Amino acid sequence: MNNIVQISNDFIESNTDFSELIQQIGSYFKQNEVLVPMRHHHDFPNPKVNSDSTLLLMPAWNPSKDAGVKVVTVSPENGQFDLPSIQGTYIYLDATKGGVKAIIEAKSLTVKRTAAASALASKYLSRKDASTLLMIGTGALSINLIKAHASVRPIKDVFVWGRNFQKAQDICYALKAEDFNCTPIETIEQKISEVTIISCATLSKSPLVFGAKLQPGQHLDLVGAYKKDMREADNDAIKKATVFVDTFQGGLKESGDIVIPIAEGIISESDIKADLFSLTTNTHVGRKTNNEITLFKSVGHALEDLAAASYYYKKFTNE
């Protein structure tokens, strides 16, 4: 037990190179050696806040190499307690002997790997000359998504929208030292039809991105809407876009952005073109033309957590 290391959010925040992390996660998808059971997803009543909370268990096992499980709670009403909606811990294991190698705070690990996965998809799906980004949402993911996308594309101008304009201002202030300009905006409509990448990370139950506003050549990155009754894009957006997911295992089952259009007959499962396994192995080319509208739906995957846990463990131990 004395050999178990503890890796804090502060360490992760100070020791993340998105280019490295994106490469690490991409290599795990490309090698496709990790065994990942379907995540455990349990909703529990939380009567004190009149809303459900969710428990997620996300195990992954790379035989005789590395293994781990993330234990996460999602409580959408935590804002009233001045706490993040998502909280959790990652238990990093010795895949050969079964012991615990590290306890990793999961907040920063999760947002970093999520942002890195979106940027990994963007390498295949957004235009190579993409220079403008609209960030919809002002939660913990927002700054990380902006930085991750900017690490793979020549982003020069970023626009941030949130229901709380002050939070959008705060994000841009936090990014003032970056190589791109960041501007808070009052409405999504101000910029949604002008930018080349739209990244959306919210807990919205109704669409914020409407297909009528999308233009040829745009890439839409949907990161929020982690439950079947949540969605960030409307049916028109789904119909206009070439749709990709992080994994078929979770992407077709967990988010309203995909589940609802399939249930309503707007699209079929066969309309989902590829996942990150296919993109990283070049089984699917990704974006085919500059005028194509591409859409990436991320629900998260335990492979991403394991790749990130391995990355931070090696950083921490200098292995």
Q: Note the pLDDT tens digit of each residue in 192-222.
A: 999 999 999 998 889 999 999 999 999 999 9
Q: What is the pLDDT of residues 109-162, one digit of tens each?
A: 999 999 999 999 999 999 999 999 999 999 989 999 999 999 999 999 999 999
Q: Does domain 110-301 have CATH number 3.40.50.2000?
A: no
The three-class DSSP label of residue 272 is: strand
Give Cα separations from 12 to 6, 21, 41, 51 (angstroms).
Answer: 11, 11, 26, 31
The answer to whether the CB of 86 falls within 8 A of the CB of 73 is: yes
DSSP designation for 232: S
Closest CA to 109 of 93, 90, 122, 94: 90
The answer to whether the CB of 156 falls within 8 A of the CB of 129 is: no
Q: What is the pTM of this model?
A: 0.90
CA 76/CA 71 separation, integer angstroms: 17
> Which residue ranges make up each domain of the chain?
5-109+303-317, 110-301
What is the mean pLDDT of the segment spanning 88-117? 95
The answer to whether the CB of 297 falls within 8 A of the CB of 237 is: no
CA 125/CA 296 separation, integer angstroms: 8
The mean of the pLDDT values for the chain is 93
Superfamily of domain 5-109+303-317: ornithine cyclodeaminase, domain 1 (3.30.1780.10)
